Homo-oligomer: A and B are copies of this chain.
């Protein structure tokens, strides 16, 4: 009754010239009279407050694989009907009112999967827009630090699915019912700058389904890492190092640089590792393929150093010692393979053998010197390691591709 009386009185004043400040103040004061911001604003308290929320992404600040966090800047657009803030627009001519956030009831929405203490959304600076039918608009702009379970297996070609979940912490679903907007997508972009490392593939949203449970809405971001930087600064150097470490077998033992070359390559591995280890997340759960590849390459490099050292010892072995059958086998394998590969070489060798033949037909046995063994090891190991390296890189590429698609 009081409301009607008020409005009648009110409307008379209004019509004089537009809407005056006094009109606003009076309407505000009228609505605030007897209003409590601690009670859900539904006249029948058995009903739930229907709260609609959408997510307006403004910036991806950080995707932290080590802390498993996603940090976003965004504002939530939250709407609900406050049944206690209703007025007749036609009589008052006022189509909108603004209230300070702390003056009216707001749902206690918080970031459910955050890593910080719960903080109230919004703050002192916000005015909430209220329409004659009681609809309240609230648009708190915040930084959200949400947990995100990341799978770095396919790093740096990985895709991450991150949820940002909001919950009405104290109220049950029967009291405050969180919903996504009925039309339109749940996630919008607002003044969005593309992140320099992460692209957004798609977005989505969902709400908690059961009727009794907590009332939550979840916004989902499908993020894809842009691999260019990592390909250029991580993968390329490692592959190049892998190639270089094979060259140990190309350098002839006579050059006297085999070992120092091999160990300097290993040292370069160590230096690169110190760069890379700052960028790869500490994660014992799912090892990244790239990490496994790195360890594989390093093991190969160590194997190469070990082989080279023993090869060098053979190379400098006194010529008077007989070459064992195992080493002869290696030399034979090398000759055999070379034969297959380059027949011209083979011919010249045969000729050569033939020439030696003239002196001593059974010399085939004696013409294997320790130098030949060293050379054969070079040949065999180079191709073996090259083979393994190519296999490993191929496997890496294939798995990575699986990760992408």
A residues near B (Cβ < 8 Å) are 17-21, 23-25, 28, 34, 36, 38-46, 58-59, 61-62, 66-68, 73, 84, 94, 98-100, 103, 108, 110, 112-120, 123-129, 139-143, 147, 149, 169-171, 191, 193-197, 225-230, 232-233, 236-237, 240, 243-244, 247, 250-261, 263-268, 270-275, 277, 281-287, 291-292, 295, 298-299, 302, 305-306, 309-310, 312-313, 315-316, 320-322, 348, 352
Contacts and interface: CB of A to CB of B under 8 A. Distances in A.
A84 B21 contact: yes
Given A250-B313, A254-B316, A264-B264, A19 B44 contact: yes
A62 B112 CA distance: 19
Main DSSP-derived SS at the A contact region: mixed
A39 B67 contact: no
Report the copy number of this chain in the oligomer: 5
Nearest to A283: B196
Contacts of A260: 257, 259-261, 264
A108 B123 contact: no
Contacts of A298: 236-237, 240
Contacts of A259: 251, 255, 257, 260-261
A196 B288 CA distance: 12
Contacts of A120: 123-125
A68 B193 contact: yes
Nearest to A128: B170
A254 B313 CA distance: 9
Contact of A284 (B66, B226, B263, B302): B226
Contacts of A254: 316
A123 B121 CA distance: 12
19 contacts: A17-B44, A61-B67, A66-B196, A73-B114, A110-B125, A110-B141, A117-B123, A117-B141, A118-B126, A118-B140, A120-B125, A149-B194, A197-B283, A236-B298, A250-B310, A266-B268, A270-B272, A273-B275, A274-B275
